[in-house]
Amino acid sequence: MTANTYVGAVDQGTTGTRFIVFDHEGQVVANAYEKHEQIYPEPGWVEHDPMEIWENTKDVIRQALGQAGISPDQLEAIGVTNQRETTLLWDADSGRPVHNAIVWQDRRTTDRVEQLEEDNLVETIRDKTGLEADAYFSATKAEWLLDNADPIKLERSRPEDIHDRAAKGEVLFGTIDSWLIYNLTGEHITEVTNASRTMLYNIHDLAWDDDLLAEFDIPEAMLPEVRPSSDDETYGTTDPDGFLEAEVPVAGALGDQQAALFGQTCFDAGDAKNTYGTGSFFLMNTGSEAVESDHGLLTTIGFQRSGEEVQYALEGSIFITGAAIEWLEDMSLIDNPAQTAELARSVDSTDGVYVVPAFTGLGAPHWDQRARGTIVGMTRGTRKEHVVRATLESIAYQTRDVAEAMEADSGIEMRSLKVDGGAVKNNFLCQLQSDIIGSEIVRPVVDETTALGSAYAAGLAVGYWSDPDELRSNWQVDAEFEPKMAPETADKRYDRWSEAVERSRDWARDGEE
């Protein structure tokens, strides 16, 4: 069954869309990627064009299959993984979005979140959803879209029609997984991990929450059906008359960070991983218990297989890590990301410079929407090498912020951390991370673990892989990094980092952006 068949994964990220084909050993057989436009209508606003994302998705699927000479009917299943929290509404009749998607990084609803704080709803939201009240999540984005989407795009004359039609299920709400599943299968479906990031889903009752829907005035009729992350019944199949010209089951989906947890085979309580992408996301599996955080972490759903209990996770969401490297490029301090290691190694230290890349506020464990990017400690002798090294160090320090909170909440001392994402190809960063965090860093051979996780979820659902033990046997170590820095040196630098973070906080105020 598996000799000449494969599982494909759509990995729809913040900056682009990838399709990867995996074989039964979990090895990459084909890989295609397309970037999409980042749209910034106003300061702090970030949007994507959903139609561009869908067109790119079709393109990368065709490209990857073509590269490897694989026909669509050799795909046993397709899995989907996606940038989480990014939100869109679309017309059920035409399938057209009513507005650009509002990206997870977008801060346009900060005032609304502050209103929630004034209304003493923060604890209620945390108790029900495991999340902090923050513009990061989908609820306030969906509310804004319902209030502000252009009625012309719906070919209707009055803005109220969007609410009216949403109440009838004629305008649909979704995160990017729902949008892709809808376009692949025609079904309006999400799964538990993405639902858990909307700030509308009760992670204990495993249902959309009536009180939260009422607070944000979001009609239940517009919401997708919530299914397991790995679904034996499948979400549907691709249209044999559509772009693939084949009927392929779409059988698994996970938000990108939970997909990486699954792809790193973190199936047991206490297993942890950190993914270094646009931001960094540190997750620890807590098993069937939803552990409440006292240290600024999120309680979220890790994954669910058909017929099994939900597995929960603690998460530390760091908004800007890889994006800080892109910022260095934007500022012409580097020509490409590969230069960062060379430049950082060329100096012994940052010479007292600290970069806090709070470009869209601070995430876990600080949760300060009004923090902004800050550089402290510069002198006339500061060179770009110091700033580049300080930027790399900021990634390691932010991860330690989360690691310390994770250990305090879970009571588990972390001795080893599995890492993945584009930045972990940088050996200098991996060693630095090990030094700052004081534990072993383990990098796998297949570092596309986000796509791999969604492929595993889909493949398990259709019997391509028999059980999680088979997946564990696929997992192989590429490199391990042990701490070399004296702990007291790491602690001293980390304490100084904490002071720099304080200087970035509460900077952006209304009218002063």
Q: In this model, does residue 185 exceed pLDDT 60?
A: yes
Q: What is the pLDDT of residues 137-147, one digit of tens each?
A: 999 999 999 99
Q: Which of 206-214's residues contact partners 24+ apart within 8 Å by CB, and which partners?
A: 206/310, 209/128, 209/129, 211/124, 211/128, 212/125, 212/128, 212/129, 212/139
CA 499 to chain centre: 28
User: From CA 436, how far away is CA 120, in angstroms rounded?
Assistant: 37
Cα→Cα distances 115→110, 120, 133, 216, 402, Å: 9, 9, 10, 12, 27
User: From CA 426, how far away is CA 432, in angstroms rounded?
Assistant: 10
Detail the residues annotated as belonging to a binding site. Answer: 14-15, 18, 84-85, 136, 256-257, 278, 322, 422, 426
The pLDDT, as a whole number, for residue 510 is: 59
User: From CA 109, how far away is CA 337, in angstroms rounded?
Assistant: 32
The pLDDT, as a whole number, for residue 150 is: 61
- Average pLDDT of span 389-413: 91
The pLDDT, as a whole number, for residue 395 is: 94
Q: In this model, does residue 331 exceed pLDDT 70?
A: yes
Percentage of the chain surpassing pLDDT 70? 96
Give yes or no for a contact between 205 and 211, defined as CB atoms under 8 angstroms apart: no
Q: What is the pLDDT of residues 149-171, one digit of tens each?
A: 765 444 444 555 788 889 899 99
Detail the residues annotated as belonging to a binding site for ADP. Answer: 14, 18, 278, 322, 422, 426
Q: How confident is the model at residue 195 (pLDDT cuts 50, 70, 90)?
A: very high
User: From CA 329, how far away is CA 340, in angstroms rounded?
Assistant: 10
The pLDDT, as a whole number, for residue 422 is: 79
The pLDDT, as a whole number, for residue 304 is: 95
Q: Which residue has the higher pLDDT, 386 or 132?
A: 386
Detail the residues annotated as belonging to a binding site for sn-glycerol 3-phosphate. Answer: 14, 84-85, 136, 256
- Average pLDDT of span 472-492: 92
Q: How confident is the model at residue 445 (pLDDT cuts 50, 70, 90)?
A: confident
Radius of gyration of the chain (CA): 22
The pLDDT, as a whole number, for residue 154 is: 45
Write out the H or E segment, with its range, that includes residue 111.
helix 110-118
Mean pLDDT, the chain, whole residue set: 91
- Average pLDDT of span 468-495: 92
The pLDDT, as a whole number, for residue 512 is: 53
All residues at 6 or more sequence positions from 441 whose CB lies less than 8 Å from its CB, including other chains: 416, 417, 419, 430, 431, 433, 434, 480, 481
- Average pLDDT of span 242-255: 94
Give yes or no for a contact between 168 and 221, defined as CB atoms under 8 angstroms apart: yes
Tokens of 28: 């990459």
Q: How confident is the model at residue 503 (pLDDT cuts 50, 70, 90)?
A: very high
The pLDDT, as a whole number, for residue 500 is: 96
Q: In this model, does residue 333 exceed pLDDT 50?
A: yes
Detail the residues annotated as belonging to a binding site for glycerol. Answer: 84-85, 136, 256-257
The pLDDT, as a whole number, for residue 198 is: 96
Q: In this model, does residue 300 exceed pLDDT 70?
A: yes
User: From CA 195, how far away is CA 236, in angstroms rounded?
Assistant: 18
Detail the residues annotated as belonging to a binding site for ATP. Answer: 14-15, 278, 322, 422
Q: In this model, does residue 118 exceed pLDDT 50?
A: yes
The pLDDT, as a whole number, for residue 209 is: 97
Q: How confident is the model at residue 415 (pLDDT cuts 50, 70, 90)?
A: confident
Percentage of the chain surpassing pLDDT 90? 73
Other beta carbons within 10 Å of 204:
14
Q: What is the pLDDT of residues 221-242, one digit of tens each?
A: 999 999 999 999 999 999 999 9
